[in-house]
Amino acid sequence: MSFYSKIYRWRLRHLSEHGFVLLLAVVVGVLSGLAAVVLKTLVHYAGLTVTRMGALTPLGGNVMMLFFPLVGILLTVLFVKYIVRGNIGHGLPSVLLAISRKGSRLPSKNMYTSLIASTLTVAFGGSVGLEAPIASTGSAIGSNIGRWFRLSSKSVRILLGCGAAGAIAGIFKAPFAGIMFVLEVFMFDLSATTALPLLIAALVSATVAYFFMGADVQFHFEVTQQFGLSQLPFYVILGVFCALVSVYFLRTTDKVEGLFAKFTNPWLRVGVGGLLLGVLIFLFPPLYGEGYGMLTQLLHGDSSSLFVNTIYGSFGSESWAVLLVLFLLILLKAVATASTIGSGGVGGTFGPSLIVGGLSGYFVAMACNQMGLPQQDTANFALVGMAAVMTGVMHAPFMATFLIADITGGYQLLVPLMVASAVTYLCVSPFERHSIYARKLAKKGDLLTHDKDASAWHLMDMQSLIETNFVIVRSGGSLRDLVEVIQTSRRNLFPVLTDDDKFAGIVALDDVRKIIFRPDLYDSVIVDDLMHPMSEGDIVRSSDSLTDVVEKFRIGDRYNLVVIDDDNRYLGFISRANTFSAYRRFISATSDE
C-alpha cells in the first residue's frame, strides 16, 4: 500500500473532512508563505543584478532603462511559449473563473510558472505588482492539495482561498488583509466553515514570512502624525480625487490592453510594448518595477527620489516640479502597467493600485499645503490614498483598510482610512460596478458573486437542463400515427414538428384520452386538430438566460417550457422541477456552509 493510500485511509477513519481541511490549511499556509518569500527574494536579487548595469547620459538618465523592459518581457514570452507551452493562468481572473466554472480546479503548473514568469518581468523593470502572481500561485497550491486528497468541491474551494489568503498575508505580513482579500475579491461568504481555515492559513503564512524575512516583508512605516477631526474634510476631498483616479486607472488599463490585443503578431506586440515601457521608464524611473522603494521614500518625506537618474533632476527642489511629476506618474502608471501586461509580461494590478494611491495622496496633501490651506501630513495622506485607490480599483474597502492599518503598525489612521475608502467606493460604484479582476468575467456572465441567487441563474448551464426524451410527431400526421407514438413514449407531451423540423405546437396526452380508443377516428383525425399552438410564455429560446426561464415559470403556471433555437427548430423541454432541483444543487455546491 502506498504512503498516499495510508494517509487517505487514516484520514477517512479518524478525521472529518472539515477537521482535515483545518489541518491542510496549516500546510497551505506554510507553502504559500514560502512561495511569497521565494518570489520576493528572487525579484530582489535579480533586480539588483539588472540595475547594476547602467549607462548614464550627459543629461542624466540610464540609457539601459530603454531596453531592460523589452528584455524582461521577451524572456517572459519565450518562457511561456517554449517551456510552459501554454497559458500559465497567472491572473486573478483565471482564479475567479476556476471558482465559478471549474469547481475551483487550477492546473498544477500554476504552482510555479507565475513565480518564474513574474520574476523575469518585474526584475527587468516591468511596471506591475507581484501580488496577483503570488495570490494565483497560492490559490493553485491550495486547489491542488485539496484535489490530491480527493476532497469535495467545497473543501477544494476553501483551500484555494486559504492559499490566496496565505500568499497576501505572507507578502505583506498582514493576516487580516489576506482574509479580507479572499472575502472581497474572491467573494467568499464569511461563515464558520471558511473563517477558521482562512485565519489559520493567513497566520501561518505571515509567521513564515516573518521568520525568513523579518518585519519588513514588503515595506513598513509607522504613523507619527496623529489624525485630527479638523482634517476630515480634506480626507473627503482625497476620497473624491482617488475615485477619479480609480476610474481613470480602470478604464485606461482596459483600453491600453485592448489596443495591444489587436496586434496579430505576438513579437511585434512584445517589441512595441517593451520599447514603449522602456521610454516611459527612462523618462520616469519611478515606473520601474513594483515601485515600493520610491513609495517608501515618499512616505518618509523624501520627494527627491522622484528625480534620481532623470534628465530633469536639477528641478528636484522645486515644489511645482514635484507636483507635476507626481501628477504625470499618476497618469502614466496605468499606461505602464497595461503595456507590461498587454505586451506579454506577467504581473498584476494590485501593487500598481497601491503605488498610484500613494502618489495620489501625496499629491493632494502637497497641493493643499502649497495653496496655503491648513497643513496636511503628506505621509498620512499617501497611506490613506493607497487604501482609497485600492478600494476603487479592486472594490475591496475592508481589505484596503486592514492592509494599510497592518503595515503602519497600528490603527491611528482607521477613521480617515474608512472615510476616504467609503467616499471613493460610493463615487466609483455608479460608473464601475465590478473590480478590475471581475469586470471581464461579469461581461461574459462567468462571475460568482455574493448574490447566490443571481450567480446561480447566471452560471448554471441551461443546455444541461434540456430534456430530449420526448417523442416527436409530424404536422399533418394522423391519429393513428399519434397512437403509435404514445405506445413508445413515457412522457405525456408530444412536440409537433413540420417537415423542415420547425416547431409547430404540442399535443398533450389528456387531449386524446377520449378518442384514443376510437379506431374509427384513427384515419380521419389529424394531429393538427389536436395540437395546442404555443404562446411566447410557453417557449424558451436557446439564446435566453436561465433568468428568463425562471421568470416565465414565476409568472405562469407551466410545469414545462418548450426550448427552440433562433430558427424555431425544436430542441427539447425544460421543466420547473428539474430547474429548481439543479438550482438547489448549485447552491449546495457553492455555499461555504
pLDDT digits (tens, 9 = 90+) for 37-50: 999 899 988 888 88
Say which amino acid occupies 185: V
Residue 193 is predicted with a pLDDT of: 77
Residue 85 is predicted with a pLDDT of: 78
pLDDT band at 253 (very low <50, low <70, confident <90, very high): very high
Q: Does domain 229-445 have CATH number 1.10.3080.10?
A: yes
Q: What is the DSSP string of 178-191?
A: HHHHHHHTS-----
Phi, psi angle pair for 433, to nearest 5°: -75, -25
* Percent of residues in the chain assigned helix, strand, coil, to nearest 5: 65, 5, 30
Mean pLDDT, residues 524-536 taken together: 78
Task: Retrieve residue 573's grid coordinates.
Answer: 423541454
Residue 565 is predicted with a pLDDT of: 85
CA angle 257, 260, 263 (to 5 degrees): 155
pLDDT band at 241 (very low <50, low <70, confident <90, very high): very high
* Domain covering 457-590: architecture: Roll (3.10)
Q: Which pLDDT tens digit goes with each residue over 302-330?
A: 888 888 878 887 787 788 999 999 999 99
pLDDT band at 215 (very low <50, low <70, confident <90, very high): low
Query: Matching CATH topology for 229-445 and 457-590?
Result: no
CATH number assigned to the domain with residue range 3-213, chosen from the 4 options 3.60.20.10, 3.40.1390.10, 1.10.357.10, 1.10.3080.10: 1.10.3080.10
**Residue whose C-alpha is closest to residue 135's, from 455, 414, 394:** 394
The answer on pLDDT for 423 being more than 90 is yes
How many whole angstroms separate alpha carbon 319 and alpha carbon 461?
59
Percent of the chain with pLDDT over 70: 90
Chain mean position to CA 363: 29
Say which amino acid occupies 477: G
Q: What is the DSSP string of 427-462?
A: HHTTT--S-TTTHHHHHHT----S-HHHHHHHHS-G
Q: What is the value of pTM for the model shown?
A: 0.80
How many whole angstroms separate alpha carbon 392 and alpha carbon 352?
13
| Distances, alpha carbon 293 to alpha carbons 72, 296, 318, 329, in Å | 20, 5, 22, 15
- Nearest-Å Rg of the Cα atoms of the chain is 30
Q: Please list the alpha-helical segments (H only) found in 149-265.
A: 153-172, 175-184, 192-213, 232-261
pLDDT band at 411 (very low <50, low <70, confident <90, very high): confident
Q: Domain locations in the chain?
A: 3-213, 229-445, 457-590
Least confident interval from 71-80, 176-185, 516-525:
516-525
Residues contacting residue 243 through CB under 8 Å, at least 6 positions apart: 388, 392, 423, 424, 426, 427, 428
Q: Give the CB-side neighbour count of residue 353, counting CA atoms within 13 A.
A: 31
Query: 89-127: b or e for each residue (b if 16 or more CB lie within 10 Å)?
Result: bbbbbbbbbbbbbebbbbbebbbbbbbbbbbbbbbbbbb
Q: Give the CB-side neighbour count of residue 2, counting CA atoms within 13 A.
A: 3
Task: Retrieve residue 90's grid coordinates.
Answer: 497567472
The secondary element (H helix, E strand) that includes residue 494 is: strand 493-497
- 388 contacts 239 by C-beta, under 8 angstroms: yes
